[in-house]
Amino acid sequence: MKKLILSFIALMFFSFSFAQVDAKANMKKFSKKELTKNSMLAVDFLKKELKLRGSKLTAVQNAFKKYAENIATMEEKISLKDKSAAGNSEALVANKKAKFKMMNNFLKLRDQEATKGYSTRDLEKYRKSSRSIHPFTLKIKELKK
């Protein structure tokens, strides 16, 4: 009985470790073309959610287009740094931290440009709706209510 339980635990341990490897393999880099396409879908989503028109719509479109370009160039630079730092775990961790810091700066810049002239109520709606947009892939995800 003891061997059966230990075998079961070992089987579970190995299955979880393989699941993590598959999850890392599924994380792919998005090209500039895909990010631009996803940014258009994100703008359409925000247009419907916030009922955007005119100058506000144009500001959101420009902000998301610039954001997609910034994320694409950041991904290229970080992937080059990761290739040169292969085997050095400290450098890989530093690159990952830099990636998240740069992404956060790009998010702030995007939101600043997109929300110029918004009222407090509109700004709150924008923030709530923009949480549905994944920061790296710009894909729309459903928020739980």
Could you tell me the pTM of the whole model?
0.72
Tokens of 2: 């003891």
Confidence of residue 20 (pLDDT cuts 50, 70, 90): very low
The secondary structure of residue 133, as a DSSP letter, is B
The alpha carbons of the chain give a radius of gyration, in whole angstroms, of 20
Please tell me the distance from the alpha carbon of residue 62 to that of residue 111, in angstroms, as a whole number.
11
- Whats the size of the chain, residue-wise? 145
Express each pLDDT in 86-143 by its tens digit.
888 888 888 889 999 999 999 999 999 988 888 899 889 999 988 889 888 888 887 6
Contacts of 9 (CB under 8 A, 6+ apart): none
Among 15-29, 36-50, 128-142, the least confident range: 15-29
